[in-house]
Copies of this chain bind each other. A is one copy, B any other.
């Protein structure tokens, strides 16, 4: 029974000034609260499968979403006929559909980078021997859209499409650092910064200092900030207009990625970032047009 029934429309006061130029409160963090409750619930239903739940039943979903069974069943029927959800072989169970995967591949943040980053990522992977990846920002999280596994034994357990708090990863720091200040402020608003480890940056002031450092040297590092023992380095990827749209980086165990190794890796990721940016149409020599941010 989510009721935001207090959306009282206040008749405009004498001044009749209803046109504030900042309708922006949502930016990225805020979800739902819009109208079209059916669409909202459909999206919530899809998201319920995200934590890795393969097959779910009606009653189970109804409990998680706090919706009546019949409503969940109606939603599922509609989503099945739209192809976004499929019936599992187990009677009365459902799972995400192939069409959803198909649509996801079409998301520009993925599709654009896919083509141009393939070769460069392979090369980065070959030259460094560490897990290489390309990531984009979504809200205050960073999502990997492309990756190469390390050939060795020590693999990272994360999967493509999984998300991590941006401020605790090197790629996330890059993406935050080059985000225009108002957007960054909108994203980092609200509750405190999550601290996955004791080494994570949880203070907003310190984060801004760190981001300034990232901007000044052009790459970011994360030591033990997402997980103890994990180190990563990342550099920006720019589109044709110079905007930072993604980050490319490598990650590996702290035992291999010592301070001076990191410096070499930073060189490699920056090189790769420039190559991919060039593939997107960015001309690096246009240094004058390098956008000022922060």
- B-binding residues in A (CB < 8 A): 5, 8, 26, 30-36, 38-40, 42-44, 46-47, 49-50, 52, 54-55, 74-75, 77-84, 95-111, 114-115, 118, 136, 138-139, 143, 145, 149, 159-163
Contacts and interface: CB of A to CB of B under 8 A. Distances in A.
A55 B32 CA distance: 22
Contact of A26 (B8, B44, B81): B81
A97 B101 contact: no
A105 B39 contact: no
A284 to B, nearest CB: 21
Given A75-B39, A82-B40, A50 B106 contact: yes
Contacts of A84: 43
Q: Which of A98, A136, A138 has the most chain B CB atoms closer than 10 A to its own CB?
A: A98
A103 B136 CA distance: 15
A88 to B, nearest CB: 8
Contact of A161 (B74, B101, B160): B101
A103 B46 contact: yes
A78 to B, nearest CB: 3
Contact of A109 (B35, B98, B106): B98
A158 to B, nearest CB: 11
A33 B143 contact: no
Given A32-B81, A36-B74, A81-B40, A50 B160 contact: no
B31 A145 contact: no
Contact of A107 (B40, B78, B96, B109): B96
Contacts of A55: 108
Given A5-B99, A83-B138, A104-B104, A39 B40 contact: no
A79 to B, nearest CB: 6
B36 A78 contact: yes
Contact of A101 (B33, B105, B139): B105
Contacts of A100: 100, 103-104, 107
B42 A42 contact: yes
A145 B107 CA distance: 15
A191 to B, nearest CB: 19
Contact of A138 (B26, B77, B99, B115): B99
Contact of A83 (B38, B43, B106, B109): B43
